[in-house]
């Protein structure tokens, strides 16, 4: 088995799911199990400064193997956690060899299948080998594929000293999926001039734009009265929550948007007649449209409060990250290197916006310009996640090519 594939399978067997509502960092201690394994493997490769710090960040240095001066120090980063949206425990990957273009059976017992009519990305990989879930968990390609690809690229560079490269910094972070991946990351100590997150999707993706992002917590205070005596007294928090949601634009939901279109996403709701809670994320690439979305959701809360009484709805809105484009564009050479590397491995670059965020979006605002490079995976965060094996191999080749290009520029 190709080393990048065997690493990937090893890493996804470790449950590293992060948690949104946690007072610790990392948000889950189980992420440290993978961190310790990566520290050990980096040292076994010969990167003796590999270490885990007090926050769970794993860092290491691949020293330059040339005396050439004035080369930038680059970084490769990936995150260790998987999404809270679906379990990452007991991941049981399936290999679909020589995919024939038909419906993929993920789980016979539960009758879970993946049709190319519903998941059209499958059509691009006829004849390739796919790694899928068994329909009960996510796969973990986001972002353990990125980790495996970085580790394999480092191993390859160490085994091929004829490929001259500058100093390369390696970083693996926790809690990216819950928006806290670089809360405690020390950019100055990391020591890179620029970096790349290996956290993208389809083979060829090179990205320097991402969403502006905010999180919204909505608490609805109702009034519960016996339904037989409820006339003009009951205030049903669940129904008020439904009414609140209907004040937001229907066609600005994730299921109706693509490319540069932003959205409001209701991802959690629970409660009773007495009290209910709803959680949203707001996303848009355009900063003005992003600010307008925030104003609109606040306006909806104000309307409900005017209708039912002050403080029926309490809304907490917090910005999470911003579009990295503003920070990366002044350094065009960073994208030029990535695009040239992708082309050099016979892949067509796909320069498209990230419909999400990466650690790189926040790192870019912390002084470390960090665009994003493909891992090869599709349909992250759910049971339909899959990754073609050849795409992972192409990512490794791309990282090696980036390293080799630095001394030549």
pLDDT for 289 equals 98
Residue with tokens 């080393």: 3
What are the pLDDT digits (tens) for 97-148?
Answer: 999 999 999 999 999 999 999 999 999 999 999 999 999 999 999 999 999 9
Residue 324 corresponds to which tokens in the numbers above? 């990295």
Total-model pTM: 0.91
pLDDT for 310 equals 77
Confidence check: pLDDT of 309 > 90: no
What mean pLDDT comes out for the span 201-211? 97
Average pLDDT, the chain: 97
- Tell me, rounded to whole angstroms, the distance of Cα 365 from its chain centroid: 17
We report the CATH number of the domain holding residue 373 as 3.40.630.10
Active-site residue, from 39, 41, 81, 142: 81
Domain match, 100 and 245 both: no
Domains identified in the chain, total number: 2
pLDDT for 39 equals 98
What mean pLDDT comes out for the span 385-402? 98
Q: Tell me the pLDDT band of 21, cut-offs 50, 70 and 90.
A: confident
Domain boundary among 321, 342, 370: 321
What mean pLDDT comes out for the span 234-238? 96
Contacts (Cβ under 8 Å, ≥6 apart) of 350: 202, 204, 205, 206, 374
What are the b/e assignments for 71-96, b being 16+ CB within 10 Å? bebbbbbbbbbbbbebebeebebbeb
Confidence check: pLDDT of 74 > 80: yes
pLDDT for 408 equals 87
We report the CATH number of the domain holding residue 289 as 3.30.70.360
What are the pLDDT digits (tens) for 164-189?
Answer: 999 999 999 999 999 899 999 999 99
176 is catalytic: yes
What mean pLDDT comes out for the span 363-387? 97
Domain match, 175 and 276 both: no
pLDDT for 172 equals 98
Domain boundary among 303, 321, 339: 321
Domain match, 115 and 135 both: yes
Domain match, 179 and 95 both: yes
Beta strands 74-79 and 194-200, pairing class? parallel
| Parent domain of 312 | 212-321
193 is catalytic: no
Domain match, 310 and 340 both: no
Question: What is the percentage of the chain residues whose pLDDT exceeds 70?
Answer: 100
Active-site residue, from 15, 41, 176, 397: 176
Domain boundary among 321, 340, 375: 321
What mean pLDDT comes out for the span 59-71? 95
pLDDT for 239 equals 97
């Amino acid at each position: 088995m190709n080393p990048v594939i065997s690493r990937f399978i090893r890493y996804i067997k470790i449950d590293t799911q992060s948690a949104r509502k946690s007072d610790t960092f990392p948000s889950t201690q189980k992420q440290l199990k993978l961190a310790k394994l990566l520290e050990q493997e980096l040292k076994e490769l010969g990167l003796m400064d590999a270490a885990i710090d007090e926050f769970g960040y794993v860092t290491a240095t691949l020293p330059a193997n040339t005396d050439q001066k004035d080369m930038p120090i680059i970084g490769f980063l990936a995150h260790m956690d998987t999404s809270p949206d679906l379990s990452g425990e007991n991941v049981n990957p399936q290999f679909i060899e020589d995919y024939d273009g038909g419906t993929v059976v993920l789980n016979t017992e539960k009758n879970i299948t993946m049709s190319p009519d519903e998941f059209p990305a499958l059509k691009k990989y006829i004849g390739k080998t796919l790694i899928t879930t068994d329909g009960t968990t996510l796969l973990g390609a986001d972002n353990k594929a990125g980790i495996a690809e970085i580790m394999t690229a480092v191993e390859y560079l160490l085994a091929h000293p004829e490929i001259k490269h500058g100093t390369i910094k390696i970083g693996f972070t926790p809690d990216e999926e819950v928006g806290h991946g670089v809360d405690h990351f020390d950019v100055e100590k990391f020591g890179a001039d620029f970096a790349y997150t290996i956290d993208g999707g389809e083979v060829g993706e090179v990205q320097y734009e991402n969403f502006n992002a905010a999180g919204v917590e909505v608490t609805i205070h109702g009034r519960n009265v016996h339904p037989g005596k409820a006339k003009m007294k009951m205030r049903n928090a669940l129904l008020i929550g439904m009414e609140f949601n209907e004040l937001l634009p229907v066609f600005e939901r994730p299921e109706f948007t693509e490319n540069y279109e932003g959205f409001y996403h209701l991802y959690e709701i629970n409660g009773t007649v007495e009290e209910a809670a709803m959680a949203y994320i707001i996303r848009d690439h355009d900063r003005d449209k992003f600010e307008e979305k925030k104003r609109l959701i606040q306006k909806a809360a104000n309307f409900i409060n005017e209708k039912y009484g002050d403080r029926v709805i309490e809304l907490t809105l917090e910005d999470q990250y911003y579009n990295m484009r503003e920070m990366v564009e002044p350094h065009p050479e960073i994208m030029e290197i990535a695009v040239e590397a992708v082309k050099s491995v016979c892949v067509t670059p796909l320069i498209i916006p990230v419909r999400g965020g990466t650690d790189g979006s926040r790192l870019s605002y912390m002084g470390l310009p960090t665009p994003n490079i493909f891992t090869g995976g599709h349909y992250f965060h759910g049971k339909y996640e899959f990754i073609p094996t050849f795409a992972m191999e192409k990512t490794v080749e791309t990282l090696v090519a980036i390293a080799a290009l630095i001394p030549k520029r």
